Amino acid sequence: MALSAVKRSQGHALIIEDEILIALEVEALLAAQGYSSFDIADSPQEALTCALARAPDLITADFRIIGGTGLEAVEAIEAKLGRIPTVFVTGNANQLADARRTIVDKPISPRRLAEACQQALDRRA
pLDDT beyond 60 at 6: no
DSSP 8-state code for residue 3? G
Beta strand extents in 1-125 (DSSP E only)? 11-16, 35-41, 58-61, 64-65, 68-69, 86-90, 102-105
Banded model confidence at residue 125, pLDDT cuts 50, 70, 90: low
Pick the CATH number of 11-123 from 3.40.50.2300, 1.10.760.10, 3.90.220.20, 3.30.450.20: 3.40.50.2300
- The residue that leads in pLDDT, 100 or 68, is 68
CA atoms within 13 A on the CB side of 31: 9
DSSP 8-state code for residue 54? S
Q: What is the pLDDT at residue 29?
A: 98
Q: Work out the mean pLDDT of the chain and round it to a whole number.
A: 91
pLDDT, tens digit (0-9, with 9 covering 90-100), for 32-91 = 999 999 999 999 999 999 999 999 999 999 999 999 999 999 999 999 999 999 999 999
Residue ranges per domain, the chain? 11-123
Q: How far apart are CA 97 and CA 77, in angstroms?
A: 20
CA terminus-to-terminus distance, the chain: 18
